[in-house]
Amino acid sequence: EIYTLSLHDALPIYRKIDSLLVECSGLSEVLPVAQTFFADPFVQAAFRLDSVVCVCDASNFEKLEGGSDGGVGAAGEDVAQLLREQLAISDVCLLNKCDLIDSSQRDQLAQRIRRVNPAARLVPCRQGKVNLGQVLKVNSFSLDGAISIDAHFLGEDGHGHNGHNRS
């Protein structure tokens, strides 16, 4: 079953939940969501950020991101930048709709994604179907990686709002 609730609402039932998946819907800013796991003392004590997963539309990537020449995609610079930021913070990239591109295009796309984030694990998939073992309980979130993207990830003092530095 899928539940929609706040992390505070989830605490009474979290012991019954194997994993809690936070979905950021499409092109959105992921860093502020990830920061919640370190900035909010309640959330920090009750939950652990296991990984950040990005779903990448293989068939439309170039249109959104802008191409291998570093140009701007048809969707504009803001969308291209947001896509690159999502890829940069991600631990796992689900390369969806691989059935709509050929293997050469998939290989080129994988190379471009690795230029943005060499550490991300790329998981080709079709119609969003993926082995959950590749995205849940993989323990791949890197606090150091998040800080390298945003030096203020943990807040002004570098330790989050409650002074604890957890990874």
Secondary structure element (H or E) that encloses residue 10, with its range: helix 7-10
Output the pTM of the full model: 0.75
Mean pLDDT of 88-109: 92
Percent of the chain with pLDDT over 90: 19
Q: What per-residue confidence (pLDDT) applies to 114?
A: 92
CB count in 10 Å sphere of residue 151:
9
With cut-offs at 50, 70 and 90, classify the pLDDT of residue 161.
Answer: very low
Tell me the two tokens of residue 25: 């819907």
Q: Is 124 helix (H, G, I), strand (E, B) or coil?
A: strand
> Which range among 5-9, 29-33, 90-94 has the greatest average pLDDT?
90-94
CA pair distance 82, 76, nearest whole angstrom: 10
Residue owning tokens 């969806």: 96
Return the residue matching tokens 């993207």: 149
Mean residue pLDDT across the chain: 78
pLDDT at 41: 84
Q: What's the pLDDT band for 162 if we cut at 50, 70, 90?
A: very low
Across residues 35-55, what is the average pLDDT?
Answer: 84
**Mean pLDDT, rounded, for 122-150:** 87
Structure confidence at residue 163 as a pLDDT band (50, 70, 90): very low
Give the pLDDT confidence score for residue 66 in this predicted structure.
Answer: 66
**120 secondary structure, DSSP code:** P
To which H or E segment does residue 106 belong? helix 103-116
Structure tokens belonging to residue 156: 């002004």
